[in-house]
Amino acid sequence: MNFDIAIVGAGPSGLCFAQALAESGLRIVILERQPEAALANPGFDGREIALTHHSARLMRELGLWERIVPDAISPLRDARVLNGLSLYAMNIDHSDSKQGELGYLISNCLIRKAAYDAVKSSPAITLMTEARIDAVRTDDEGAHITLANGETISAQLLVAADSRFSETRRAMGISATMHDFGKVMMVCVMEHEVPHRHVAWEWFDYGQTLALLPMNGMRSSVVVTMPARQIGDLMEMDEDDFSRAMEKRFQHRLGAMQLASTRHGYPLVTVYPDRFTAKRFALIGDAAVGMHPVTAHGFNFGLRGADVLASEIMAAHARGGDIAAAGLLARYERRHRFATRPLFLATHAIAKLYSDDSPPARLLRAASLRIGNRIAPFKRAVAQMLTEAN
Ligand SMILES: Cc1cc2nc3c(=O)[nH]c(=O)nc-3n(C[C@H](O)[C@H](O)[C@H](O)COP(=O)(O)OP(=O)(O)OC[C@H]3O[C@@H](n4cnc5c(N)ncnc54)[C@H](O)[C@@H]3O)c2cc1C
């Protein structure tokens, strides 16, 4: 079978990239190993995705935003960063970003469902599910994919969107720097007595990191990061014991709390490949930048990269050029690295510092929060980074 672009992975990034090209006149195939039912009705996976204004705009352009019921989109008005046992907080106010809110919160399963529905309504996109890839290679003529059932697929360009542990990236010989934080992030929805006023919390406590992402109503997405064994204990507790344990962990700052969803654990591994491109090949989504979730930017970067690559491809196609030209891929590489590398490194440094409980680190943690709080340009820069309001 012959296509213009073959995408491996129908996660949110692969689907959004395909959808960005739906009107380009190019023939696109997405190869996904999961069954179609898992894409058509994705189950709740605990992730509530904080989206910047830039991402909201891209999702509107892709026709995803209107597929999500307004009640399921929660505004993220302000953010507070807390440290250790102190009540002192660095406050990042929406007014620092000149926006009515810092961003929005939407369940990952709703984003995936909206992206799947959009792709299914686009005749230019073929979705092949339960696809088992045996081999991939690219040469001057194009990309060649062999499936386990013996079928072969060729395309002008191969794009990998197959997660931070991308097998396609490895098969193409691209190395990546991985960092395993040795911790697991547990996410779930909880109801609570004290209103959140649409303020997100990032609380770098000693021995644990807690986060609260405000959902509509008296509910929040609650995130706990700790070593795997402790997270395992939390996830095995019965619902009431778990709720009481969480009230204690949050030092009763939210009053009574009650578990309102299933609990999900994600090992904390970050990934940054040495290159995003090779001959007739590009990485997007988590396969390109596997962020630490603490700055809530993984999918925001996924959308941004998909938009940049799709724009470069459409411009080349419109002037009758090669949609996988080396120069085009080099421009994507440069633009996406420039947009993602600084925050990737900064997030890494923040996560390392604020999970270090040694006495010097405790001093530095408290001091940097107070200094950051007093420097208005710094706070405006953080607000700008969180909102991507441009
Ligand atoms: C707890 C948590 C909270 C997060 N919060 C935020 C947030 O607030 N804001 C934000 O922007 N981001 C957030 N993220 C990150 C965000 O969830 C990811 O960036 C996003 O889901 C990545 O999408 P993706 O499509 O690149 O990869 P994935 O979602 O990993 O999808 C990859 C797809 O590829 C398929 N696949 C894999 N290998 C193969 C193969 N060999 N052949 C065929 N198919 C294959 C998989 O089945 C899957 O469908 C969070 C992540 C976590 C874990």
Question: What pLDDT score does 221 carry?
Answer: 96
Atom of ligand 1 nearest to the CA of 34: 47
Which residue in 137, 154, 176 sits closest to 281, CA to CA? 137
Question: What pLDDT score does 172 carry?
Answer: 98
CA angle (39, 45, 50) in 5-degree steps: 100
Contact 376, 89 (CB under 8 A): no
Question: What pLDDT score does 343 carry?
Answer: 86
Low-confidence ranges of the chain (pLDDT < 70): 84-89, 96-98, 353-354, 360-361, 363-370, 372-387, 389-390
- State how far the Cα of 238 lies from the Cα of 115, in Å rounded to an integer: 35
Protein residue closest via CA to atom 31 of ligand 1: 11
**For the packed helices 298-318 and 326-353, what is the interaxial angle rounded to 10 degrees?**
170
Atom of ligand 1 nearest to the CA of 287: 26
The amino acid present at 264, given as its one-letter code, is H
Question: What pLDDT score does 357 carry?
Answer: 72
Q: Which residues pair with 258 in a beta bridge?
A: 191
Question: What pLDDT score does 383 carry?
Answer: 66
Q: How far is the CA of 70 from the centre of ligand 1 (A)?
A: 23
Q: Which one of 33, 39, 231 would you pick to mutate in the ligand 1 pocket, going by the greatest count of ligand atoms within 8 A of its CB?
A: 33
Contact 303, 353 (CB under 8 A): no
Question: What pLDDT score does 100 carry?
Answer: 79
Contact 128, 7 (CB under 8 A): no
- State how far the Cα of 293 lies from the Cα of 302, in Å rounded to an integer: 13
Which residue in 160, 137, 142, 143 sits closest to 273, CA to CA? 160
Q: Which one of 49, 149, 181 would you pick to mutate in the ligand 1 pocket, going by the greatest count of ligand atoms within 8 A of its CB?
A: 49
In order of 84, 182, 275, 370, the CA distances from 365 in angstroms are 9, 21, 33, 9
Q: How far is the CA of 238 from the centre of ligand 1 (A)?
A: 29
pTM listed for this prediction:
0.93
In order of 44, 182, 368, the CA distances from 361 in angstroms are 37, 19, 10
Q: Which one of 19, 39, 134, 286 would you pick to mutate in the ligand 1 pocket, going by the greatest count of ligand atoms within 8 A of its CB?
A: 286
| Burial class (CB within 10 angstroms; exposed 0-12, middle 13-18, buried 19+) of 55 | buried
Question: What pLDDT score does 380 carry?
Answer: 66
CATH of domain 2-76+104-178+269-356: 3.50.50.60
In order of 13, 41, 256, the CA distances from 111 in angstroms are 10, 11, 30
CA angle (272, 19, 176) in 5-degree steps: 10
* Residues whose CB falls within 8 Å of the CB of residue 36, separated by 6 or more in sequence, listed in order: 127, 129, 130
What is the CB < 6 Å shell around ligand 1?
A: 8-14, 31-34, 47, 49-50, 108, 131, 133, 161-163, 167, 185, 187, 266, 285-286, 293, 296-300, 302
CA angle (258, 262, 265) in 5-degree steps: 110
Q: How far is the CA of 12 from the centre of ligand 1 (A)?
A: 7
How does pLDDT run across 82-120, given as a tens digit for each residue?
Answer: 776 666 667 777 776 667 788 999 999 999 999 999 999
How does pLDDT run across 138-192, given as a tens digit for each residue?
Answer: 999 999 999 999 999 999 999 999 999 999 999 999 999 999 999 999 999 999 9
Atom of ligand 1 nearest to the CA of 108: 17
